Amino acid sequence: MKKIITLTLATVFLFNSALKADEGMWLLPLLEKTGFPEMKKLGVRLTAEQIYSINNSSLKDAIVIFGGGCTGELVSADGLILTNHHCGYSSIQQHSSVEHDYLKDGFWAMSRSDELPTPGLRVFFLESFEDVTDSINAVTAAGISSEAERQKAIREKITEMTAKYDGLQGIRAVVSSFYTGNIYYLIVYKIYSDVRMVGAPPSSIGKFGGDTDNWMWPRHTGDFSMFRVYADRDGNPAEYSPDNVPYKPKQHLKVSIKGVQKNDYAMIMGYPGRTQRYMTSWEVDERMNITNASRIHIRGILLELMKEDMEADRKVRIQYASKHAGISNYWKNSAGMNKALKRLKIKDKKQQEERDFTAWVNANETRKEKYGEALNLIRQAVADRAEYQKISMYYNEAILNSEAVRNAAVVNSYLAAMKKDSSEDKKAETLNDLKESIESFFKNYNKPTDLKITKALFKDFIENAEAKYYPEIFAQIDSLYNGDVNKFVDNMFATSIFCDKEKMEAFLANQNYEAQAADPANQIYLSVMKKNGEARLATQSISEQYNKGRRLYESGLLEMNAGKKAMYPDANSTMRLTYGTVQDYYPADAVHYDYITTIDGVMQKEDPENLFEFEVPERLKELYKAKDYGRYAMQNGNLPVAFLSTNDITGGNSGSPVMNAKGELVGLAFDGNWEAMSGDICFEPDLQRCINVDIRYVLFIIDKYAGAKHLVDEMTIVK
């Protein structure tokens, strides 16, 4: 195995110019061997070292993981960060109230003292990226008789590798797997936790188009928000303190207001979450018919009920804005993915890949011995786990989407941590964290909404899940409530501490753990965990065979394509680079979409009957009427809003910088397009586009709309 991996590393990254230039999420340490030759052909004017360097300052030092699920970029020497509005949405919502509705009205700090501390928000800077594949392989090379033993040995080795970083202030070390366990990197991050909100447009700009326009083009959304990183006086990570100072980054991005034209070079660096480009046809079926189908159905119920209450009550709208946005995003993603998978015949393409792989394996006895069982292991595992996959979706999407039950889960996790804490001081610290978590929960909680949703979701669970998978406590629905789910849920909400702030506070004061354990919401949570645990135990051997099949399949693909086709690893929330060009596209016969949108489209989309999604602020109308766009206008005098590029992105890339050939910021990536929603599984070069907010629109909103020109002046603006 070690020889195979060594061969793979030496040959797989030879670049094949026949590969589409816009496909691929490339690993930065291997950039010079993979994508850089094609990047030079497209016009990049930087060296690979200027883009990524561990020893010297480079563009990578201006890019951060923002909040754990997005990307951000430093745009000033004083730690100013740009990211998407939807990435900052939960923070904006956290600071909002009926009296100060920043979601509706926007927020702008007119001085550093006005910037709002945001507890829980963190940014991660990449410190180092080290190939440790040989070290991992060394512990699995001999004496391993099963996949379970192999995984145990790897986990122990990873713990050993990361142990030396334990306890270091603001440092986190992880070992990430690439190509499904064929290559490993030790990655070290520096984490800053004093991050303050600086600016955000109103949702009528930052979320313009709402669910209707989500994943769609043409787009007219000013999807950005602004934050600032603070550090101690030595520049080190520190918890919030009024004595902290703006962080001085190693590098920040210059901001170009020259604009973009069709065919311009475009490059994105960020932290894409998850792709499955090497998925098999059986896994495509599973994704469509179990994972996506379940999510579409259950979240459809949830979103409809949530929206009813949000439209009826302003306070509920604020409380549930972030929740609704998060739930809706992947509800629509799943629907679009299923549609694209069918229309683009992705399953057929995967079956052809499997036939090609099988023919290559069968042409050589050594290959047959190494990889002959790979596809059969995957096929059988997917078939064997089907009913478990469905029930797992229903546990998570239906039962655990009851906020009361989910609150019980959170409290359980804190109490478990307190039991493990060795010192009274540590226990007190954990208890204080729990109190803060509870305070945050009830700030954004409406009991009548949760009651209504819980009834609907529990009914749906009973109708669609097999009885053998019902949580044990569900037996009470028949025995005590004559099968009446509504009465069962009414009783839970009447007696549970997890949906009542006063009862919860009394529990925290008295710490009556017996009452907490017997609480109906807690019993539901524990019943689900027990059933889910039984399902996991029953599928353990299936999971082991599946993991083995996936590892062998991708190892075989690497060997099969060595020297012929560059294979980038699937996204796994590690820093990647994608390059391409600014382009239009043809989504269907006789339909053409241009590469850029303007403020004209904002005005055209205004809908007084749907102000929830298509409201245009009066101030924006005034600026439009006066054509007061300043230096942010295009040569024709119009104001750009968004543009398209061929960059290969996915969730996690939200907020990523779109850079020109000089590495200057020209936009922020914020979405993919509807016609290519299958892109996480199969890249479609003719259809797949990245939707970006134009930096000129961002600067216009900050400067002209908000009157916060001091924030623009802080940036390095280039023409």
pLDDT digits (tens, 9 = 90+) for 551-565: 999 999 999 998 887
Residue 174 has a pLDDT of 97
Residue 71 has a pLDDT of 98
pLDDT bracket for residue 719 (50, 70, 90): confident
Q: Which of 101, 211, 223, 680 is catalytic?
A: 223
Percentage of residues in the chain with pLDDT exceeding 90? Answer: 88
Amino acid at 219: R
- How far is 155 from 149, CA to CA, in rounded Å? 10
SS3 content of the chain, % helix, strand, coil (to 5): 50, 15, 35
Q: Are 565 and 574 in contact (CB under 8 A)?
A: no
Please compute the mean of the pLDDT values over residues 460-471 and round it to a whole number: 95
Q: Is 100 annotated in the active site?
A: no
- How far is 81 from 91, CA to CA, in rounded Å? 14
Q: Is the peptide bond between 218 and the residue preceding it cis, with omega within 30 degrees of 0?
A: yes
Please say if the pLDDT value at position 657 is more than 80: yes
| CA neighbours closer than 13 Å in the CB half-sphere of residue 463 | 12
Residue 12 has a pLDDT of 42
pTM: 0.92
pLDDT single digits (tens) 369-418: 999 999 999 999 999 999 999 999 999 999 999 999 999 999 999 998 88
Please say if the pLDDT value at position 15 is more than 60: no
pLDDT bracket for residue 21 (50, 70, 90): very low
- How far is 477 from 488, CA to CA, in rounded Å? 6
What's the CATH fold of domain 24-122+193-275+573-719?
Thrombin, subunit H (2.40.10)
Residues in Cβ contact with 212 at an 8 Å cutoff, skipping those fewer than 6 apart: 610, 613, 614
pLDDT bracket for residue 2 (50, 70, 90): very low
Q: Which of 22, 58, 86, 570 is catalytic?
A: 86
Which has the closest alpha carbon to 523: 626, 399, 652? 399
Q: Is 85 annotated in the active site?
A: no
Beta strands in 362-412 (DSSP E): none
Helices (H), 235-312: 281-286, 293-312
Q: Is 543 annotated in the active site?
A: no
**Residue 171 burial (CB < 10 Å; 0-12/13-18/19+)?**
middle
Q: How far is CA 639 from CA 127, 268, 598, in A?
A: 39, 23, 6
- How far is 130 from 293, CA to CA, in rounded Å? 39
Residue 592 has a pLDDT of 98
pLDDT bracket for residue 7 (50, 70, 90): very low
Please compute the mean of the pLDDT values over residues 94-121 and round it to a whole number: 96
Q: What angle in degrees, to the nearest 10, is found between the helix axes of 386-397 and 374-384?
A: 50
On average, the pLDDT of the chain sits at: 94
Please compute the mean of the pLDDT values over residues 55-74 and round it to a whole number: 96
3-state secondary structure of 191: strand
- How far is 249 from 231, CA to CA, in rounded Å? 10
Q: How far is CA 306 from CA 322, 332, 412, 487, in A?
A: 12, 16, 26, 21
Amino acid at 698: V
Instruction: Indicate the range of 102-106, 280-284, 426-430 predicted with least confidence.
Output: 426-430
- How far is 61 from 57, CA to CA, in rounded Å? 7
3-state secondary structure of 255: strand
Residue 4 has a pLDDT of 34
Please compute the mean of the pLDDT values over residues 517-526 and round it to a whole number: 95
**Residue 355 burial (CB < 10 Å; 0-12/13-18/19+)?**
exposed
DSSP 666-698: EEEEEEE-GGGTTTTTS--TTT--EEEEEHHHH
Residues forming a β-bridge with 667: 658, 694
Please say if the pLDDT value at position 237 is more than 90: yes
Which has the closest alpha carbon to 480: 495, 461, 498, 466? 495
Q: Could you state, in order of their start, the residue ranges of all structural domains in the chain?
A: 24-122+193-275+573-719, 386-538
Residue 621 has a pLDDT of 98
- How far is 576 from 270, CA to CA, in rounded Å? 6
Residue 601 has a pLDDT of 98
How much is the CA Rg of the chain, to the nearest whole Å? Answer: 26
Q: Which of 654, 656, 678, 694 is catalytic?
A: 654
pLDDT single digits (tens) 178-227: 999 999 999 999 999 999 999 999 999 999 999 999 999 999 999 999 99
- How far is 404 from 447, CA to CA, in rounded Å? 9
Q: How far is CA 448 from CA 326, 334, 455, 494, 598, in A?
A: 20, 28, 11, 11, 42
Please say if the pLDDT value at position 706 is more than 80: yes
Please say if the pLDDT value at position 630 is more than 70: yes
Please say if the pLDDT value at position 311 is more than 90: yes
Please compute the mean of the pLDDT values over residues 506-517 and round it to a whole number: 88
- How far is 676 from 303, CA to CA, in rounded Å? 24
Sign of CA dihedral 564, 570, 576, 580: positive
Residue 717 has a pLDDT of 98
Q: How far is CA 85 from CA 70, 108, 224, 313, 664, in A?
A: 11, 13, 4, 23, 21
3-state secondary structure of 192: strand
pLDDT bracket for residue 13 (50, 70, 90): very low
- How far is 556 from 558, CA to CA, in rounded Å? 5
Region of 181 on the Ramachandran plot (φ > 0 left; ψ -120 to 50 alpha; else beta): left
- How far is 461 from 439, CA to CA, in rounded Å? 30
Please say if the pLDDT value at position 337 is more than 70: yes
Residue 3 has a pLDDT of 33
Residues forming a β-bridge with 578: 268
pLDDT bracket for residue 419 (50, 70, 90): confident
The pair phi, psi for residue 679, each rounded to 5°, is -60, -30
Beta strands in 62-182 (DSSP E): 63-66, 70-74, 80-83, 107-108, 116-117, 123-131, 171-178
Please say if the pLDDT value at position 24 is more than 80: yes
370: DSSP letter: H
Q: Tell the residue number behind the tokens 């398209």, with chain if given.
A: 644
Please say if the pLDDT value at position 427 is more than 90: no
Please say if the pLDDT value at position 16 is more than 70: no
pLDDT single digits (tens) 137-161: 999 887 777 888 999 999 999 999 9
**Residue 420 burial (CB < 10 Å; 0-12/13-18/19+)?**
exposed
- How far is 72 from 656, CA to CA, in rounded Å? 6
Residue 6 parent element (H or E) = helix 2-11
Residue 44, token pair as written in the block = 């990049």
Residue 55 has a pLDDT of 87
- How far is 222 from 228, CA to CA, in rounded Å? 19
- How far is 30 from 179, CA to CA, in rounded Å? 15
